[in-house]
Amino acid sequence: MPMILSVHLCFSVSAGARSRAKTLLMLWLSSLVAMAHVGSPNVFYEGEAGPYPVRVIIRPPGVVPGLAEIHVRILAGEAGQVSVLPVHWEVGTKGAPPADQAKLVSGETNLFSAELWLMDFGAYSVFVNVEGAKGRGTAVVPLNSVATQRLTMSRWFGSGLLGAGILLFLLLLTIVGAAVRESVLAPGLEPDRRRRWRAIVMMAGACVCLTLALAVLGRWWNRVDARFQRRLYQSVEVKTAIRAEGNTRALQLTLEPSKWTRHDATTLVPDHGKLIHLFLMREPDLDSFAHLHPVRIDSSKFETPLPPIPAGLYNVYADVTHESGFTQTLISRVTIPESTANSEAALTTELRSDPDDSWHVGTRYGSPSRESSLSERTVRYALDRAHIMAWEREQPLVENRETMLRFVVTGPNGGVASLESYMGMAGHAIIRHQDGSVFTHLHPRGSISMASQQRFLAREEGRVSSDPAWDFDDKFCGRDPNALSFPYAFPRAGSYRIWVQMKVNGKVMTGVFDAEVESTK
């Protein structure tokens, strides 16, 4: 009989692991307030603005409207002028304000900085215009404009404003009283008893009217505040279930319309040819990992056969792109039971997996390298008996500091391996904080959705966009064609695990690395 295991925010574990599971759940819940790429809202892009290779980092504001910080680094050549333009997906460049000029950062020769107002919620793109001796070029960088926090007023400042408000209230009553009591008297005359009583009555009436006005304004403000809090972005939880049938098992995702369309009601579009990029990570050792691509079963259900990964409790992350260009990372947890474990043979005879699905089993957290120490600058990981991946890392790694994650793969003879296209890119990097508060999916071009970028460009050119067949291009493997590089800045200090995936000789290989990121404090 088919077995369905439904998972919501609550999940089942064995009695012996219940305490550990509760701790993990609390850690996971602390990461729910985030945008796509959970806990890592900054946008990273490395590509070209016409003849100029650029690296763009955007730090979105925590509230909307709010100021976004934009840094543009020119990787080659000299730029005389850099301007940036925020474009909302519904209006295009014709409805956008004039572009802002980015300023050269003091002490730098190729780094420009600017601040841009994001005035509305939804999908935006930033048009980065570069001008110089080589001409003019534009790069389009998508980002989400959402509020992730509600700013609060400090107690001392609030008390000061309250005191000032009370003083102004009393002064206004005093002005009303003086106007009624003395404004029409000739100079030198004193108001009589009747005028004084009339002034008192008018002051009482003014007090009642002002109090009612303040009450109405207070109710209006509370409604505005409640509406803003409802629009605060929270990662969408999806319902997951294990469907067992014969010797096979499948993971089902149910996207409830009332939840996943909360921030954007437009339909999903494929990115790299896939509607969903799904990632599974076994807790707590992160020793089992899968990168899968579910297919649509009906309007709200998706399904993918599970590869031969071990039973246990898994974190689930699902990257999706909306037609507007808005991106989300949907989240869930699922327990894969021991009794329905797949075999390699079962996968080939019943449910068919996507040809780009991949998985990796082994390597407990804290022991990622078979040949190197975490203290070494170059950390090596044996992909198989013939291939080794080396992470040539910067020292030290510091939170919120721009870095390039650079990896080199060598073959049987020690030479650099020839990388093949894996879903149109040279490689993929998946980064997760040990406590689950950060999850990021990177490409050599950065953290943006290629589908979002293409849709913004298509709308601007007045044509219909479709998911492009991305061509593998060595120049986006970092400026060194022999390396696989990813632009990033770790958003917080702590322990991270990094999975790096690429394809060699038609086989997807996964390197696993651990990183310690230092605090700036």
- Distances 13 to 25, 77, 252, 501 between C-alpha atoms, Å: 12, 57, 19, 30
- In the predicted model, what is the mean pLDDT of the chain? 82
Q: Kindly tell me if the per-residue pLDDT of 234 is higher than 60.
A: yes
Q: Are residues 136 and 283 in the same domain?
A: no
Residue 341 sits in the same domain as residue 259: yes
Asked if residue 38 belongs to a domain, the reply is no
**378 plus 518 within the same structural domain:** yes
Query: Measured between alpha carbons, how far is 513 from 365 in angstroms, rounded to an integer?
Result: 9
- In a domain, residue 133? The reply is yes
Is residue 47 domain-shared with residue 24, that is, in the same domain? no
Distance between start and end Cα atoms, the chain: 56
Q: Does 396 share its domain with 276?
A: no
Asked whether residue 397 falls in the same domain as residue 521, the answer is yes
- Max Cα-Cα span within the chain: 109
389 and 501 together in one domain = yes
Within a domain: residue 3? yes
pLDDT of residue 200: 92
DSSP state of 472: P
95: CATH: 2.60.40.10
Residues of the domain holding 10 = 1-30+236-362
Digit-coded pLDDT (tens) for 199-214:
999 999 999 999 999 9
**What gap in Å lies between CA 328 and CA 317, rounded to an integer?**
10
Residues 350 and 376 in one domain: no
Residues 82 and 138 in one domain: yes
- Per-residue pLDDT at 10 exceeds 70: no
Q: Are residues 274 and 345 in the same domain?
A: yes
What's the CA gap between 368 and 350, in Å, rounded? 34
329 vs 61: CA distance, rounded Å: 19
The token pair that represents 492 in the structure block: 């917080």
Domain count, the chain: 4
Q: Is residue 429 part of a domain?
A: yes
Confidence of residue 62 (pLDDT cuts 50, 70, 90): confident
Burial class (CB in 10 A: 0-12, 13-18, 19+), 482: middle
137 and 22 part of one domain: no
Q: How confident is the model at residue 489 (pLDDT cuts 50, 70, 90)?
A: very high
Helices and strands, counts by H and E, the chain: 6, 29
Q: Is residue 153 part of a domain?
A: no
Do 519 and 385 belong together in one domain? yes
Q: Which of 346, 362, 378 is the last residue of a domain?
A: 362
Read off the pLDDT of residues 337-360 as tens digits, 9 standing for 90 and up.
Answer: 875 444 444 433 345 678 899 999
Q: What integer pLDDT is reported at residue 206 of this predicted model? A: 93
Looking at the DSSP bridge assignments, the partners of residue 335 are 313
How many angstroms separate the Cα of 22 from the Cα of each of 227, 280, 342, 477, 498?
A: 32, 19, 28, 41, 25
Q: What is the pLDDT of residues 248-265, one digit of tens each?
A: 789 999 988 777 677 788
Enter the DSSP assignment of 425: B
Q: Which residues, listed in sequence order, are joined to residue 144 by a DSSP beta bridge?
A: 123
The predicted pLDDT at position 346 comes to 41
The total of other beta-carbon atoms located within 10 Å of residue 326's CB is: 26
147, pLDDT greater than 90? no
- CATH number, domain of 374, equals 2.60.40.1930
Please confirm whether the linkage preceding 65 is cis (ω < 30° from 0): yes
Which tens digit of pLDDT belongs to each residue from 263-317?
788 888 888 888 899 999 999 889 999 999 999 888 788 999 999 899 999 999 9
Look at the alpha carbons of 366, 368, 370, 373 in this order and tell me if their dihedral is positive or negative.
negative
CA 354 to CA 38: how far, in whole Å? 25
Three-state secondary-structure class, residue 79: strand
Is 12 within a domain?
yes
- 420-444 pLDDT per residue, tens: 888 888 899 999 999 888 999 999 9
Instruction: Please give the average per-residue pLDDT across 28-39, as a whole number.
Output: 52
Q: Would 157 be classed as within a structural domain?
A: no
Identify whether 36 is part of a domain: no
